Structure 1
Amino acid sequence: MEHIIETPRLFIRELLPTDVAGMFDLDSNPEVHQYLGKHPVQSREEVVGVLDFIRQQYKDNGIGRWAMVDKKTGDFIGWTGFKFVTDLTNNHVNYHDLGYRLRQKYWGMGIATEAAMACLDYGFNQLGFEEVFAMADCDNDGSNKILTKLGFTRIETFDLDGEPHHWYRLDQASFERIK
């Protein structure tokens, strides 16, 4: 599969059915799900369903989360990219949400920031996005720091499934200033 984006350390490409093992390692880890509702997947079949859902988003919305792959080793690191959200979230609907999720062994290396920065550049300059939103559990210091470093503005705090989350927004002009 051809990559969509290349960074100094990463290839970013569509998630494929062959990513089941990497996705299972990612999403079965309770530490990864600490701020994601604490519901790690229990089986590879669940992962197949997630991959099918994401691949359907590519068809329906022309966008979806993408795989991050280590350029040197070919190892599956996690996912990043955009999701077009059509369900009501914090009084918003039909918006592009930036996200990222890494296997635990890749935490603390700046990979999420590198990948998200490249995705934002692609979203604003190739896909023509005018604004992008993101959210993070209020207690997830790592993700909140990344979003701030990327230039997102925290708009408010809201309740998501019983947990307080920060709601962020970034427009193209603000992104260009921090790039």
Structure 2
Amino acid sequence: MDCIETDRLILRHFTRDDVDALFALLSDEEVNTFLPMFPLKDTGEAEKYLRDIEDWIQRGGFYDAICLKSDDVPVGCIHVSGDDSHDLGYSLRKEFWRKGITTEACRAVVDMLKRTDIPYVTATHDVNNPRSGHVMRAIGMKYCYSYEELWQPKNFRVTFRMYQLNFDGRQDRIYRKYWDKYPVHFVEEV
């Protein structure tokens, strides 16, 4: 699939021409707060990250740039892992926060996933990042449980909330890998 279009957005593969835009996104400390990586230090690291994105896709994942239709320059990214979690993740430059862009991009990706053989999608967010949980609920995901993880590579404890959206009608299915893996797990009132 080359690209996905919505009313305001184009979701497309990153190209080598996107190095500066990717660096602007992933070098911002505030944007990076809830990402499982440290901020990029230079465009060389952004070029390496582009190669990592290619590897992600080769392993069966989905990873696209979020671009405004007005200029086709990446302002964010959205991805779904190729493993059994089918984990949905996203980030957006902070000047575009609170405009519904992430929700619009996520809805488009979910619509695309519904036409594949993927039976469900999961997503997690740090309890200190409730806006991400709002996006998950806005696209129809349901909260399942919370768990505590020693988060790497940043090496501090994080409580994550795990959400899931089933596509195949099996509403009782819950992806339990994190529940089973981490000894501190519980169900919250959200």
> TM class by shorter-chain length?
0.7 to 0.9
Query: Is 1:135–2:124 an aligned residue pair?
Result: yes
Contact 2:8 2:69 in 1 (8 A): yes
Match of 1:40 in 2: 39
Q: Secondary structure at the match of 1:32?
A: helix
Question: Which consecutive unaligned segments of at least 5 residues does structure 1 have?
Answer: 86-93, 175-179
Q: Is the 8 A contact 1:30 1:38 kept in 2?
A: no
Where does residue 148 of structure 2 map in the other structure?
Answer: 159
Match of 1:90 in 2: none
User: What SS does the aligned partner of 1:65 have?
Assistant: strand
Length-normalised TM-score, structure 2: 0.79
Q: Which secondary structure does the structure 2 equivalent of 1:135 belong to?
A: strand
The question of 1:113 aligning with 2:66 is answered: no
Q: Which has the larger radius of gyration?
A: 2
Per the alignment, residue 170 of structure 1 pairs with 165
Identity, in percent, stands at 27
- Which residue is equivalent to 1:67? 65
Taking the TM superposition and a 5 Å limit, the aligned residue runs for 1:85-100 are 85=83, 94-100=84-90
Residue range with higher mean Cα deviation, 41-50 or 6-15: 41-50
Q: Which residue in the other structure is 1:7 paired with?
A: 6
1:44-87 Cα shifts (integer Å, max 9, x gaps): 122222210111222231x32101111012222111131224xx
Please identify runs of 4+ aligned residues in structure 1 that moved more than 6 A: none
1:68 and 1:33 map into 2 onto residues whose CA distance is 16
**Equivalences, count:** 163
Supply the AA of the counterpart residue of 2:76.
G
2:92 corresponds to 1:102: yes
CA contact (8 A) 2:120 2:168 kept: no
CA distance 1:12–1:38, change in 2 (3 Å): closer
- Aligned counterparts of 1:37 and 1:114: Cα–Cα separation in 2: 23
Counterpart contact for 1:3–1:11, Cα < 8 Å: no
Instruction: State whether residues 77 and 102 of structure 1, in contact with CA within 8 Å, keep that contact through their aligned partners in structure 2.
Output: yes
Equivalent of residue 78 in structure 1, options 64, 76, 79? 76
**2:56 and 2:29 mapped to 1: Cα distance?**
26
* Structure 2: runs of 5 or more not aligned: 152-156, 170-190
Q: Tell me how large the CA RMSD over aligned residues is.
A: 1.7
**Does the CA contact (< 8 Å) of 1:81 and 1:116 recur in 2?**
no
